Structure 1
Amino acid sequence: MVKSTPNNATFVQAELDWLQTLLKARSAMNANSGSSIRDVLEIPAPSVEKESGSYARLIQRLNLTAEERFLLILAAVPHIKPQMLDMFMGKNQLTQQIFTEFGGRKGKNHNGFIPTGETVLFILAGSDLAKRFKYLGLLSAETKLFKEGHLKLSETDADDPYLNGTLNISRDTLQEITSGTVRKPDFSADFPAQLLETEMSWDDLVLNPHTEEELREIEIWLKHKDKLLQEWGMHKKLKPGFKALFYGPPGTGKTLTTTLLGQKLGLDVYRIDLSRMVSKYIGETEKNLAKIFDRAERKGWILFFDEADALFGKRTSVSDAHDRYANQEISYLLQRIEDYDGLVILATNLKNNLDEAFMRRFQASVFFPMPQPEERKKLWKKGFPANVELEDRIDLQELARTYELSGGSIIQVIQHSLLMALDQESAQVKLGDIKEGVRREYHKMGRTI
């Protein structure tokens, strides 16, 4: 993404000045001061035609109307110039509360005014009921800014009017407005997912030929999904995304394959470890998952759920409250996965542990078997760096034939042998060190050489 140009702040300020003019116009209209303006949006927004800053580019790209620009800048104000909304914090002398018609809330740690849906309608419509009904549609989840995830109206309690929800701008959109770049999120409590990256390439991957063929379908879908769903009209018949299951023993390349698939197609891959996300506290698992899906929507990210059987194991019969909420967590994640418009990959070492009803939802089920001797030979050969030599007694073909190891285990053995060579200040890998590494890997698996 192109970074913000120096004049971006100037244009953002012009947009803020426009909003300030709208607020003054609403104040004048409410005071019956004889204003000739019948609708605050009669006041034109700043022209974007000759602007090149990141905010102007965003407006151009989304082809925003004046109403939509108003919503976007109003949602951004608490983050850019919060004092601008202090005018709404005056109290009604009778109730000693903020005027009801202003809407608005205070945050937990933010003392300023946070606009709500009610604030939007007050500024645009005042006490005019017809205009209120007219502009109510701006806050629909189906409108552009909400549907594409730039804005969100927060949830309210069931007994509260939904327009009391705060008008929130996404972090990514705010970053684009202010700096012209969208920083990739770091793993945190607010975003419990990790970006997967690797310096390896697709050529470094060693897979069973049948596995490679099954992966081809996923790659084809990622390349052609937009044409399939939109130009060919299949969005009416197909779910928006693609769901795949990767299963097989540990160390057989499930995570690496997912990472390289994203690398090959220029897509970010985020790993969600369900065993770490499942909370003992009721409702917390859904909140953790919502944070990821809300941020990922319409980004094109590949979501990779590791150890999927932690949440998608066979459903329990409802014998107590814990069972009931556990099944609710599964249902929630199933729905979010169904609605996600990108690629979702779930990985498990134990396919038989997964719920059969859930298995039917996958478009692809890819098996990652233990590598065969020829594949193991390639893994041994590709694993050693070019600047080391192997002891004459080392026969990679024999190692591959003799020891049944996964790709992950072979890399661990190679690492052990290289560390032993470095410790001996040598560039030669010894057969004895390789065998010791193999012995250790077999011990992890409860086997002996």
Structure 2
Amino acid sequence: MKQSKDQFPEFQFIEKYLQYRLDTQFYAKNNLTVPELPGYSKWTIHVPPIIRKARLNKAEKILLLLTLCPQVQSHLLDTVIQEKLTSTGDFPQLGGIRGKNFRGLLPTGQTALFLLAGNDLKKRQAVYRYLGPDHFFAKNHILRLEDAPDGEPKMCGKLILSAEYAELFLTGRISKPAFSMKFPAQLIETHMEWSDLVLNPETNVQIKELQMWITHGNTLLYDWGMYKKLKPGYRALFHGPPGTGKTLTASLLGKYTGKDVYKIDLSMVVSKFIGETEKNLANLLATAEKTKGILFFDEADALFGKRTNVRDAHDKYANQEVSYLLQRIENYAGLVILASNLKTNIDEAFIRRFQAIVHFPFPSFSERLQIWRKAFPEKVGLHKDVVLDQIARKYELSGGDIMNVVQYAGLRVLAENKKEVTHQFIMDGIQREYQKGGRIMR
């Protein structure tokens, strides 16, 4: 946050404007000068580009500052009101409530109406629009009006500033969401490069197309106006055997496009209780939409599997659940990747809506040979009895399997104080991978 000789002139304005409204409303003081709202260049809070470009009017800026007030100048509203209360009674028109832990006054919709509209019907209608679901504030998850207690007027609800924007206004950045029950996703990263990844040529072409969308999708949608004809976001299915590079590819897509990649923990999303899965997914996507990151659903069959024939109420509800998931995923503005071992495990309703279906086949002999050659560290040599061509041709292993073998062989070299990886070390590692898969090594 930039510093200034006079700290927070934007909130000094809010203080003066509140005094002005109290004087005109309750003391019938006429010919008062309306305080002037300073321009963004004089604000001491960080004003992100999305706010600068939005061309907010004066009333919208006041609403934004009013909502942000408890975060920055927690005493401001109370100070002004207490000064005025020395000579008059209560101000119920001003609204505001006390929080559970926050001791100051929290502004409500009534507070916004008092400041911005008074008894002017058209201005009051405008305030309702500013706090409505179709306004810039709501669409960008900046601020909202909390639901009022049952049976009370709508404008009794608190003005809520999103935690992400509160942090952005105050620090100039937004922290990456932490793993939690509301956001059961881990940030995945990789030190590998595209050159380390060995893919089938056709798969590689499709991945480049995905990278192309991440880079140019917003230009196509918004600069070219295609948002009127195309749905937001992009949905891709990665399918193929384990260890063929699905997770690594997702990580590299994020790395080379500057996007965070979040791997979803489906065990924390899927629930046996009716309504809980939808609720968990809604919380997840609400947070994810603020990150604009790539969502990676590994083993997605658990969440996006085929719908069943309706035999009872539970089946009917399960099918409704899949329909809801489909709708929510379609509305996500970023890239969503579903990964599955088998394409046929995913519900056809999802399949039809994928822009890309990318097959990660088991690597061929030439691809396995490339993986073997890239896999070993430069600091350790291969014994002359190691013939990678023969190993790659004889043993059908995925890229993940091969890396497990290399790890095992490397540890054997270190444990036995050797200088080279021997053929036997590699064979022992392959034997372990075959046993894990229930295969017989010949």
1:27 corresponds, among 22, 26, 32, to: 22
In the superposition, relative to structure 1, how do residues 58 and 338 fare at CA in structure 2: closer, same or farther (>3 Å)? closer
Q: Does 1:270 align with 2:265?
A: no
Report the residue type matching 2:159 in the other structure: L
In 2, Cα distance between equivalents of 1:183 and 1:54? 15
In the superposition, relative to structure 1, how do residues 6 and 429 fare at CA in structure 2: closer, same or farther (>3 Å)? farther
Report the residue type matching 1:15 in the other structure: E
Structure 2 contact 199–363 (Cα < 8 Å) conserved = yes
Structure 1 contact 298–342 (Cα < 8 Å) conserved = no
What residue number does 1:247 align with?
239
TM-score by length of 2: 0.88
2:436 corresponds, among 440, 444, 448, to: 444
In the superposition, relative to structure 1, how do residues 302 and 162 fare at CA in structure 2: closer, same or farther (>3 Å)? farther
Instruction: Give the 3-state SS of the residue equivalent to 2:2 in structure 1.
Output: coil
Please say which of residues 65-74 and 348-357 is displaced more in the overlay: 65-74
Q: Does 1:348 align with 2:340?
A: yes
In 2, Cα distance between equivalents of 1:396 and 1:256? 23
In 2, Cα distance between equivalents of 1:328 and 1:160? 33
Q: Residue 309 of structure 1: CA displacement?
A: 0.9
2:205 corresponds, among 207, 213, 217, to: 213
What residue number does 2:145 align with?
153
2:2 corresponds, among 2, 5, 28, to: 5
What residue number does 2:75 align with?
83
Please say which of residues 160-169 and 255-264 is displaced more in the overlay: 160-169
In 1, Cα distance between equivalents of 2:295 and 2:14? 38
Please say which of residues 230-239 and 202-211 is displaced more in the overlay: 230-239
Cα deviation, 1:243-283, whole Å, max 9, x if unaligned, reads 11111111111111011011111111112132331123333
Task: Write the mapping of 1:127-276 to structure 2, written as runs, cut at 5 A.
Answer: 127-155=119-147, 161-276=153-268
Q: Does 1:282 align with 2:274?
A: yes
How many aligned positions are there? 434
Q: Residue 332 of structure 1: CA displacement?
A: 2.8
In 2, Cα distance between equivalents of 1:327 and 1:108? 40
In 2, Cα distance between equivalents of 1:15 and 1:332? 43
Structure 1 contact 384–414 (Cα < 8 Å) conserved = yes
In 1, Cα distance between equivalents of 2:72 and 2:316? 44
Structure 1 contact 269–304 (Cα < 8 Å) conserved = yes
In the superposition, relative to structure 1, how do residues 23 and 182 fare at CA in structure 2: closer, same or farther (>3 Å)? same
> CA-atom RMSD, angstroms?
2.8
In the superposition, relative to structure 1, how do residues 58 and 261 fare at CA in structure 2: closer, same or farther (>3 Å)? closer
What residue number does 2:85 align with?
none
Instruction: Give the 3-state SS of the residue equivalent to 2:47 in structure 1.
Output: helix
What residue number does 1:94 align with?
none
Percentage identity across aligned positions? 47
Structure 1 contact 88–102 (Cα < 8 Å) conserved = no
In 1, Cα distance between equivalents of 2:229 and 2:48? 37
Task: Write the mapping of 1:53-64 to structure 2, written as runs, cut at 5 A.
Answer: 54-55=46-47, 59-64=51-56
Instruction: Give the 3-state SS of the residue equivalent to 1:297 in structure 2.
Output: helix
In 1, Cα distance between equivalents of 2:159 and 2:312? 38
Report the residue type matching 2:306 in the other structure: K
What residue number does 1:93 align with?
none
Structure 1 contact 116–165 (Cα < 8 Å) conserved = yes
In 1, Cα distance between equivalents of 2:277 and 2:110? 31
Task: Write the mapping of 1:317-396 to structure 2, written as runs, cut at 5 A.
Answer: 317-320=309-312, 322-396=314-388
TM-score by length of 1: 0.87
In the superposition, relative to structure 1, how do residues 117 and 50 fare at CA in structure 2: closer, same or farther (>3 Å)? closer
Report the residue type matching 1:67 in the other structure: A
What residue number does 1:423 align with?
415
Report the residue type matching 1:346 in the other structure: L
In the superposition, relative to structure 1, how do residues 175 and 100 fare at CA in structure 2: closer, same or farther (>3 Å)? same
In 2, Cα distance between equivalents of 1:113 and 1:283? 35
1:71 corresponds, among 31, 39, 63, to: 63
Instruction: Give the 3-state SS of the residue equivalent to 1:417 in structure 2.
Output: helix
Instruction: Give the 3-state SS of the residue equivalent to 1:200 in structure 2.
Output: coil
Structure 1 unpaired stretches of 5+: 91-97
In 2, Cα distance between equivalents of 1:52 and 1:31? 31
In the superposition, relative to structure 1, how do residues 19 and 333 fare at CA in structure 2: closer, same or farther (>3 Å)? farther
Cα deviation, 1:372-407, whole Å, max 9, x if unaligned, reads 111111111111110001121111111111111111
Instruction: Give the 3-state SS of the residue equivalent to 1:377 in structure 2.
Output: helix
Instruction: Give the 3-state SS of the residue equivalent to 2:230 in structure 1.
Output: coil
Instruction: Give the 3-state SS of the residue equivalent to 1:229 in structure 2.
Output: helix
In the superposition, relative to structure 1, how do residues 298 and 423 fare at CA in structure 2: closer, same or farther (>3 Å)? same
In 2, Cα distance between equivalents of 1:230 and 1:181? 24
Report the residue type matching 2:124 in the other structure: R
Instruction: Give the 3-state SS of the residue equivalent to 1:352 in structure 2.
Output: helix
Structure 2 unpaired stretches of 5+: 83-89
Structure 1 contact 68–145 (Cα < 8 Å) conserved = no
Report the residue type matching 1:430 in the other structure: T
In the superposition, relative to structure 1, how do residues 436 and 236 fare at CA in structure 2: closer, same or farther (>3 Å)? same
What residue number does 1:405 align with?
397
Structure 1 contact 278–285 (Cα < 8 Å) conserved = yes
Cα deviation, 1:152-209, whole Å, max 9, x if unaligned, reads 3345678665444432222222222111222222212232221111111111111011
In 2, Cα distance between equivalents of 1:327 and 1:110? 43
Please say which of residues 390-399 and 361-370 is displaced more in the overlay: 390-399
Q: Residue 101 of structure 1: CA displacement?
A: 4.3
In 1, Cα distance between equivalents of 2:287 and 2:157? 19
